Amino acid sequence: MHIPAEALRALKHVLGEKNVLCDEISLCLNGYDCSLSRARPDVLLNIPTRQQVSPAVQILHRYKIPFTVRGAATNHAGSCCPLKGGAILNLCALNRILQINTQAGYAWVEPGVITGQLQQALQPLGFFYAPDPASQRVCTIGGNIAQNASGARCLKYGGTLDHLIQAEVVLPNGDVQTFSRTTPGPDWLGLLTGSEGTLGIITQAKVKILPLSQHVRTFLITFPSLQQSVQTVTDLMGRGVIPRCVEAMDKQTVLAVETFSRAGYPTDAEALLILELDGPLQTLEHEQKTVEEICHLHQAQHIYCAQTEAERQRLWAGRQGAYSAMASLAPNVLVCDGTVPRSALPDTLRAVRKILEENQIRASLLFHAGDGNFHPQLIFDERHKTDTLHITRTAKRILQACVDAGGTISGEHGIGVEKRSTMAYQYDRATLHLFSQIKHAADPDELANPLKILPLNYEEKAVFPPAAQGRLRTWLEDFQHRKSQGKPFWVCGTNSRLQTQEPVFSTEPLNQITDVDLTNYTLTVQAGVTLKQVQQTLAKHGVHSVLPDEPGTVGGAFSSGCFPDFYAHVTAIQVLMPDGSLVRYGGKLTKNAAGYNLIRLFAGAQGALGIVTELTFKIFATPQPILTPRKDQPIVPNCWFNRLKQELDPTGLLCLKEETR
């Protein structure tokens, strides 16, 4: 696209002459990342300080120039690829750690700070930043937030989303907005995390830091089958042992790694686990015994515990060498990323191997056994078009296999442009339409990282949703009736929090407990199920959750905003939108980086954007600290809320709680 001379002059005025580049070399070298996609921007803007982001974006907005933010560009999804041309905003120079507060447990960082450098800065202070993407030595915190990156430690500590406390964001029109976890209302930070720069640009972030574990034990365990290795992890979690990370590989990957790096892995087993525990010494001793006991129960062939740091490093060297082993064989390695419920992992891995064999593709198969996330690494030469096409088709088949197993097309890499067509495998029309509405509300001019995440022509390609059954169907009919009357109403559960005499629409009829899954440790309930009912069901199965035994419904606990720490436990939701469509998001998954995080959008929204009808959340084998409710606070609508409300509910059918007062 053509950049007007006036716009260039204005940008040079704001950023300085040398930071606005239009030469051929700069443009050609800033339109790619670690994916297969490439595009050519029209101007490169090197941002020297974070204060210059907003004025630069204001100019881009004024001249309607699309822009794409670029950090270290290490993502595998093509998120940094400027599909519509326009400007590339290089934020790599914003690489200062602004503040580390060990007493309050947070750090303020600029988006260009390298994750590994933050770790290095925290280590001498006895702290660490929990998200550990494999590329942490080179990727940036801003990129991690944009992609909701996570790594091996995600199982115990969570991903980037769980460690972001506050962020300063430049919106696509150039306005600066601060989003915080403590503000009542939807979890905007949660929505922003994983949005791949399509909703705004993070200019500084406050992230959680944790005290470093003094003691770590690393085990190498082998099993005669994949099934047994995964069952071992499930049983460990059932006994309350949550490893810091559980990395795994199948036999063929172990053989490839051994040939390349000679890490000393046993090659006679079908599955190999590298399991790491951390915590106080006493707990570790106890957990080690449990690990050994459960491994023996599942006929582990070798159980080896690293005795020294050097041995520990050697065990990890093999796992880290898996990518190198593949990279030495062919010019390109396509790292796929899919996540399935843990119980479905063995079958999915078998299906993936079958797909690879059928297509005669050499690949290694690594997986995070704890959270069901796996990464086939497919080798090819992208210079051969047919070869590349064959590989990308195979990768899509693998993602389809994930979706068929109840999983997601991305656990931690994001969607970008590489996987946007496969979004239609996973989501129905209503959900994809909601993603589109979110983007449109936040960025009506389609300027921020355009053409990402959403598949083109999704209305034709999206999967068909299952029809509503039973009580939900009757309740939906009731909703349509209320809607046809055209009178606004308030959404409530047992009306224990709202306590209004105004016209309400209750979720009380939706009071079924749909599923108790003791393999993946999830509970699926309809929104009208009371907290007491949940406690009774959990007690019956001998499991626990973080929800208290209080009046009110699960839907209320989620939507009212009284339990913000509960949001991280919710893995799937079903929402009735004001237009009458049903939106489904998530599954029995620990991580999901496909699309905008709808759980966080409806969490704390008090039913004003849509009505939550069903929730899936994590349950535990051991008692957990029970959440204490926060004081009921009305939502303070910000610009995003107002625009979203206008986009999703233009007639104002669903009322906000504050309106009752």
Partner 1 sequence: MMHPSFKHCLHALKTPFGWRELYDSAAYCNRCGACTQVCPAYHLNPQETFSPRGRNQLLRLVCEEKIKLSRKQPLARDLLISCTLCGRCSQACASHTPTAEHVLEMRRRLGLCVLPRLLQRLLLWRETAPRLFAVGIRLGLWGRRCGLVTLLRKSGVTLLPGLTWINRADELLPRRIGRWRITSNATDTVKPPLIYLPSLEAEFFLPELASQTLAYAQREHAVTVWRNTASGLFSYVYGQLRQSRRTLRRLINRHAQTADGNAPLLTDSVDTYVFLKRAAQVFSGNMRWQKRAQKMADCVCFVTEVMPKSPTENKPQGGPVRLEPSALFDRQSRPFTQALDILTTFFGKNLLQCLYTEADIPAFGYAFTAENRAEQMGLEVVRQVAQTHTRTVYTLSGLAALELTYFLQRFYPAAKAKHLVHINR
List residues near partner 1 by CB under 8 A: 23-26, 28-30, 32-34, 46, 70, 72-74, 90, 92-93, 95, 112, 114, 116, 120, 135, 137-139, 323-324, 326-328, 331-333, 381-383
Task: Measure the CA–CA gap between 633 and 562, rounded to whole angstroms.
Answer: 8
CA-based nearest residue to 526, from 482, 480, 468: 468
Nearer to partner 1, 67 or 458 (CB): 67
Tell me the longest C-alpha to C-alpha distance in the chain. Answer: 72
Instruction: Say what the alpha-carbon torsion angle 138, 144, 150, 154 is, to the nearest 10 degrees.
Output: 110
Distance CA 229, CA 299 (A): 9
| CA–CA distance, 352 with 398 (Å, rounded to integer) | 6
Q: Which C-beta is closer to partner 1: that of 14 or that of 572?
A: 14
Q: How far is the CB of 484 from partner 1 (least distance, A)?
A: 55
Query: Residue 580 CB: number of other CB atoms within 10 A?
Result: 12
Beta strand 87-90 pairing with 43-46: parallel
User: 623, 445 in Cβ contact below 8 A?
Assistant: no
Least distance in angstroms from the C-beta of 125 to partner 1: 15
CA angle 76, 448, 180 (to 5 degrees): 90
Q: How far is the CB of 326 from partner 1 (least distance, A)?
A: 8
Dist. CA 507–CA 494, nearest whole Å: 8
Query: In the complex, what is the shortest distance from the CB of residue 543 to partner 1, in angstroms, rounded to a whole number?
Result: 41
Residue closer to partner 1, measured from CB, 36 or 599: 36
Distant-in-sequence, close-in-space partners of 485: CB < 8 Å, separation ≥ 6: none
Closer by beta carbon to partner 1, 279 or else 321: 321
Helix (H) or strand (E) holding 44: strand 43-46
Query: Look-up: residue for tokens 């626990």?
Result: 544
Q: Which residue lies nearer to partner 1 by CB, 38 or 354?
A: 38
Query: In the bound complex, what is the minimum distance in angstroms from residue 69's beta carbon to partner 1?
Result: 13
- Cβ-Cβ contacts under 8 Å for 299 (sequence gap 6 or more): 223, 224, 228
Residue 33 or 276 having the CB closest to partner 1: 33
The nearest distance, CB 34 to partner 1, in angstroms, is 5
**Nearest distance from C-beta of residue 398 to partner 1, angstroms:** 19
How far apart CA 592 and CA 571 sit, in angstroms, is 9
User: Among residues 50 and 588, whose Cβ is nearest to partner 1?
Assistant: 50
Kindly state the smallest distance separating residue 253's Cβ from partner 1, in Å: 15
Q: Do residues 454 and 626 touch, judged by C-beta distance below 8 A? A: no
Rounded to a whole number of angstroms, the minimum distance from the CB of residue 136 to partner 1 is 10
C-alpha 236/C-alpha 242 separation (Å) is 7
Which is nearer to partner 1, 5 or 25 (by Cβ)? 25
DSSP run (H or E) holding 274: strand 271-279
Residues 19, 344: Cα–Cα separation, whole Å: 50
Q: 383 or 540, CB closer to partner 1?
A: 383
Which stretches within 366-428 are classed as H helix?
Answer: 385-404, 423-426
- To partner 1, the closest distance from the beta carbon of 247 in angstroms equals 17
User: Smaller CB distance to partner 1: residue 92 or 518?
Assistant: 92
Q: Which is nearer to partner 1, 382 or 446 (CB)?
A: 382
Side chain identity, residue 24: E
DSSP class of residue 275?
A: E
Could you give the C-alpha distances from 293 to 137, 236, 283, 307, 370, in angstroms and in order? Answer: 36, 10, 15, 19, 18
Min. distance of Cβ 96 from partner 1 in angstroms? Answer: 12
